[in-house]
Chain A
């Protein structure tokens, strides 16, 4: 085990991340918190516990893999929206907004088997978990839900978080690096391809190998990334109407298109 002296030395030398790993929502969510004073106080412990609670609650309510979850019961018509927990109404309202701003390219109501907000929930839950940490007064925080990332500030006093964008055509390589301000989500045909349903045909379909969307809110970024994989270049104009959201599309031939403000690291 690490000696106490080693830990103290590290705390003195540099800002220390408190790293936490949560296995939830069928994946691994990692939480990195950079405490204000380099020490984890009771407020931070409480905030971490609340953040974990948010993730597990989202899993319990929205998992389409759990046959007795409220979303599964809703999909089978056993309960109505208003008999479901309050979060269900909230998320479906947010999904409806995302459907509208995406020009219909993101549409949980077009999924086979009934309404399926899965493409929104992971980012929404990670963003809410981050917001709890942010409110606790930390100097920086990062919540990474298997590649969909919500962040506040950065790892040090001035520099932003730097995030690699995976290369969809060469697993194990990075396509580029971005400087994160807020959230980034990436969807692609290389992960869970089955959820990329083209709402216009009702069948699996993708027009680019991957789409990454950065912006203030991870829930919407997640939905837009899913939409853009299906829509391809044709979908890029939907971002023009959304302040603060930027996108990078990587085509199957490895070429890329991006919006003018995409935050590539210099």
Chain B
């Protein structure tokens, strides 16, 4: 099988502008084969496309985010973004958006989050998700299939991330 090392090109983006609190009927979503779609932007495009419309994802994705084309010697510097499957986590539903430049994961963020509008869970989400983004970048750089001792939230986060990376052929 093909397995390329992933080099982290940037830290996770901030949460502002990528969190959204929709209300929609909860449904179990399978990752993998029924997962996300992929959008591509050219290397010279400075504004990444929003999240794809599959899986009911809508609204505030990573719009108007500037991406600097990779300066590495990677053969393909095409910037691509994929949204992972929506998965259940401890407080509701989430999906992860990941951006790669060539084989580099350059950004990990939340594409969709529905915690039912509960204030307490919003507070927990906002504390834990930046940490999860950081962990995700580290985990992908370590090329692992899971984390032992992880929190409940991170299981859902990792699952959605994995499905997004699978769509991009980088994990």
Contact = CB atoms under 8 A, between A and B. Distances in A.
B32 interface: yes
A17 interface: yes
Interface residues of A, number: 52
B150 A13 contact: no
B169 A13 contact: yes
Contact of A174 (B35, B88, B135): B135
Contact of A177 (B142, B150, B158, B169): B142
Given A2-B37, A19-B31, A147 B148 contact: yes
Contacts of A61: none
A82 interface: no
B54 A19 contact: no
Interface in B135-151: 135, 138-139, 142-151
Contacts of B60: none
Nearest to B31: A19
A166 B142 contact: no
B42 interface: no
Contact of A186 (B30, B85, B148): B148
Which DSSP category, helix, strand, loop or mixed, fits chain A's interface? strand
A165 B148 CA distance: 5
Interface in A145-169: 146-149, 155-157, 161-166, 168
A226 interface: no
Which DSSP category, helix, strand, loop or mixed, fits chain B's interface? mixed
B156 A163 contact: no
A27 B90 contact: yes
A93 B89 CA distance: 33
Contacts of B120: none
Q: Size class of B's contact patch?
A: 35 or more
A146 B31 CA distance: 17
Contact of A162 (B38, B134, B144, B150): B144
Contact of A172 (B31, B90, B132, B144): B132
Contacts of B167: 2, 6, 10
Contacts of A164: 139, 142, 144, 146-148
Given A28-B155, A162-B142, A166-B149, A173 B55 contact: no
A2 to B, nearest CB: 5
B16 interface: no
A144 interface: yes
Contact of A30 (B2, B3, B139, B159): B159
Interface in B24-76: 28-38, 54-55
A26 to B, nearest CB: 8
A122 to B, nearest CB: 12
B10 to A, nearest CB: 17
B169 A14 contact: yes
Contacts of B166: 10, 16-17
6 contacts: A17-B162, A162-B145, A172-B134, A190-B149, A210-B149, A212-B149
9 closest cross-chain pairs (CB), A and B = A186-B149, A172-B131, A166-B149, A19-B31, A19-B32, A186-B148, A172-B135, A28-B155, A164-B147
